[in-house]
Structure 1
């Protein structure tokens, strides 16, 4: 789960076609709505696992969508530096803001879960160290019941660590090989990321035999690097176009056709959720099945990002993702993601899940009804003050 907020996208500018767009490439409300969709999808997928319908929802979409959004948002200060539109970002400020964004809420949930769910407690001093540092996937026993979903936070944290490296790499590639074509370096970096992800996944599937590594290695950053770079490429191309250093005709063309964006997303969802993407269970599939589902989810996340970030804010697609309830869910999405798994196990002790599809919907509704208010409270009393402090903004002024 990406703990990134689209609040840095605040300025507005005009495109050549007259459409108003956030300067850095997206509408705050629409991007927040995308986070809300991703978080709800995660709850549906995990919640359905306790019912007779473990296929309900699109497996892997939630984390992948949030990884794509994280790539889109966090590369922007570095992209502005690369194209000469802003000074080089402060590494100290970047690290401080990222750590205070991800850790406070996580540590609250970790402690509460450990108190209420004994099985969720880390094992031994080394287990607690991994839990407190979000290096849970360094060993298979770090994925504790009720907290196993926090693997994605470790992957996100790894992305934070290499964002400056990616920025410097893209800048170096551009200055050395394409000094007059600032869009090409990010595409080269995306190509490298695709090869790294494919190579890593192939290595894990066909060359790893240790059970613990088979469980954890597929969750490491290399497996999802292309997702982060895909979002980063969209942001970089939009910034290049905004500052008059290139065009993004392909992205603008796609974004101008919201029905096509939705059609591609729906078709990809059908493929990813079909038997081509593996069985409708939580069991691992073949290399081909996992690849199909992962690529399908990445396509969905990327085309929706393009449609919202580069599209007309008056389009039905942008209005859909800017619906107040979806934006609110997106604002609370980090807390929703953190709380829903331990709450699911706690509620399962008290709630008898009714059979049939209606029972599934009732169970999901109960899970959301408990998780969302707690997520909203976490945002108000933990996340928001931490964000303000990391920016040096007095909490009372927020």
Structure 2
């Protein structure tokens, strides 16, 4: 364990520079999002394990940390975008900035636009006009700002946040090269947390509007960039964060952040509930970033699991799976609940049926709408 494991480094330098455990974490993130939405659509059925005094131990609520897959995606995005951009550029130039945005648009826009348009086609089927304003807002990644334009599919909010991160990343890299990486990341993390504190003390409407915006979520991307920086200089985690124990420690921190989101915990904190809301995502994603550092730099059971070929495939298709999952999951779950009622069994059946539909759909979407981008990138490298 004195050096970053050969396994981790070999996987980072093969298969088009994909880092195997990172793709595995993408698969975990998208499965978590699908699971959480199925649970929601099935009306949050309780899976009781036992009752301790007046406390009902509900397994579904206990594993609801899975529902924070978007936050894990943001950490992974910060990690990957820093590796992609900072290795090639350490100063701000308009030409390279616009080229970076062009590449990111080519990467995410085709699948997103097609998915958004298909989601919009349901409106004529229910007797409503095609929502052109919604489509325009989504096409320009401004649907977080324009009122009443987030109805195509709820998960699409994160695409705007992701794009806004791309807009500021080159400026971040420039500032880091001029004033020091760790100084700028500390300012970004602290500034984002202070913004969240203001947001959650300014009333419900302010919080509802800003919670998905980049000032609130910047801390999550920044944790990922921190791990990317450590990765580029081959900095090993301390022993406490290595192997299986390090993974479990990261998971414990993640779980603590998730607990701070629970309504009962916020209510229990009373007038200090805003502190729970402020710190929840920063702590949650700090745990995710430590898990990421662990699995890319330390051999363990978890690194091997995340590097499994099945999770690798799902990880590659995760973007398409995320884009397409909302309506199939909703229709399948609501149909089964209407016919058989809400229960953990119906929830699990809905999950299985949804994945049976979504996995091949995601493969097709990836092959047609995402793979051409990677082929284009590969041809440019070999030209």
**TM-score tier after normalising by the smaller chain length:** 0.7 to 0.9
Task: Give CA deviations for 1:102-141 in whole Å, capped at 9, x if unaligned.
Answer: 1100111111111135589898654332121121110341
The aligned runs of 1:324-343 (5 Å cut-off) are 324-343=309-328
Whole-angstrom distance in 2 between the partners of 1:120 and 1:107: 22
User: Distance between the aligned counterparts of 1:107 and 1:82, measured in 2?
Assistant: 29
CA distance in 1, matches of 2:113, 2:249: 38
SS at match of 2:233: helix
Alignment partner of 1:202 is 2:197 = yes
- Contact kept, 8 Å, 1:123 with 1:141, in 2: the verdict is no
Find the counterpart in structure 2 of residue 68 from structure 1.
Answer: 75
CA distance in structure 1 between the aligned counterparts of 2:131 and 2:30, rounded to whole angstroms: 31
Question: Which protein has the bigger helix share?
Answer: 2
Q: Match of 1:385? A: 372
Q: Which residue of structure 1 aligns with residue 19 of structure 2?
A: 28
Q: Tell me the TM-score normalised to structure 2 length.
A: 0.81
| Aligned pair partner of 1:40 in 31, 36, 44 | 31
Is 1:229–2:236 an aligned residue pair? no
Q: Tell me the equivalent position of 1:277.
A: 261
Structure-1 separation of matches of 2:369 and 2:359: 15
Q: Equivalent residue for 1:162?
A: 168
Range moving further from structure 2, 164-173 or 73-82: 73-82
Answering whether residue 119 of structure 2 is matched by residue 135 of structure 1, we say no
Distance 2:130 2:87 in 1: 44
Three-state SS of the structure 2 residue aligned to 1:142 is coil
> Could you tell me whether the CA contact under 8 Å between 2:256 and 2:283 is conserved in 1?
yes
In the alignment, structure 1 segments of 5+ residues that lack a partner are: 1-13, 174-184, 242-247
The Cα offsets for residues 167-210 of structure 1, whole Å up to 9 and x where unpaired, read as 1000111xxxxxxxxxxx2221221112221122122222256x
Q: Aligned partners of 1:357, 1:304: CA distance in 2, in Å?
A: 29
| Residue 153 of structure 1, CA deviation | 0.6
**1:89–1:228 distance in 2 versus 1, CA, 3 Å:** farther
Question: Unmatched 5+ residue regions in structure 2?
Answer: 46-60
C-alpha root-mean-square deviation of aligned residues, in Å? 3.4
Equivalenced residue count is 352
Distance 1:206 1:380 in 2: 46
